[in-house]
Amino acid sequence: MLKIENVHKAFGEVTVLDGVDLTIAPGEVVSILGSSGSGKSTLIRCINGLEMLKSGRITVDDFDVSKPKELAEARKRSGTVFQLFNLYPHMSALQNITLAPIEVLKMPRPEAEALARQLLESVGLADRANAYPAQLSGGQRQRVGICRALAMQPRYLLLDEVTSALDPEMTSEVLAILAKLAAQGTTMLFVTHEIEFAREISNRIVFLDKGRLVVDLPTDRFFAADGGRAQPRVAQFLSKMRKD
């Protein structure tokens, strides 16, 4: 389980997460919706142990991200793909993907490379293994980013607006990969503005509003008029995001 318990986070005087509770069980796909500035990326960074909590607890399979001795184990269990392409520019796609398995998991290089090639093939990039990030399109870079996270064989895949910097065509190529992963049973925490896609692949949808998790419902209930939509903030958000 990935457990977020009563988490408070502040930057100086500004409260950014205000008592967030969220549990994700293996096999679940949970989407996080919420306006810009509501705290979605901060929550992902907290799960990665990149931010100090003011209070509360985050555990990944019982490893507490706030405890220095447990953080490495927690991190091995979750893989993150961020909004902005964060591949190492001086390394090829293959090197980007094999780096952590070799360095962190001590996987022998031939095995790591075989795994990387298999992952690249699964995202339609078998022929781009030796390309550098600058030689790849945005959509291709995000697909390599997904391979890099998957190469660590994480139990939980965290995705922070992975398509928001992409044009519609590249967005659909990346979403197709995520749909495939969801169908294979990959556990995912998915921060997105792609509401229709979230609706298709999620078991649950949660809504963050000014650092508070105000809705946590099964997907059908989230979109029902007497469910999530009954919350004015959710209704407002959904009408603003509608693409018509």
The site for ligand ADP (CB under 6 A) is made up of 11, 16, 34, 36-42
Q: Least CB distance from residue 161 to Mg ion, whole Å?
A: 6
Q: Least CB distance from residue 192 to Mg ion, whole Å?
A: 10
- Please spell the DSSP secondary structure of 202-243, one letter per residue: -SEEEEEETTEEEEEEEHHHHHSTTTGGGSHHHHHHHHHH--
Judged by beta carbon distances under 5 to 8 A according to partner kind, the member of Mg ion, ligand ADP, none in contact with residue 38 is: ligand ADP
Instruction: Select 48 or 92, whichever has its Cβ closest to ligand ADP.
Output: 48
Beta-carbon contacts of 129 under 8 Å, excluding residues fewer than 6 positions away, are: 92, 93, 94, 116, 117, 120
Instruction: Select 34 or 133, whichever has its Cβ closest to ligand ADP.
Output: 34
Judged by beta carbon distances under 5 to 8 A according to partner kind, the member of Mg ion, ligand ADP, none in contact with residue 37 is: ligand ADP
Instruction: Select 40 or 128, whichever has its Cβ closest to Mg ion.
Output: 40
Kindly calculate the radius of gyration of the chain based on its CA atoms and give it in whole angstroms: 18
Asked if 192 is part of the footprint of Mg ion (rule: CB under 5 A), the reply reads no
CA separation for the pair 155, 186 (Å, rounded): 8
Taking CB under 5 A as the binding criterion, the range among 41-49, 86-94, 151-159, 168-176 that sits at the site for Mg ion is: 41-49
CA separation for the pair 171, 138 (Å, rounded): 9
Asked if 38 is part of the footprint of Mg ion (rule: CB under 5 A), the reply reads no
Instruction: Select 91 or 214, whichever has its Cβ closest to Mg ion.
Output: 214
Instruction: Select 36 or 239, whichever has its Cβ closest to ligand ADP.
Output: 36
CA separation for the pair 132, 169 (Å, rounded): 21
Judged by beta carbon distances under 5 to 8 A according to partner kind, the member of ligand ADP, Mg ion, none in contact with residue 163 is: none
Describe the crossing of helices 138-150 and 109-122 by its angle, rounded to 10 degrees: 130
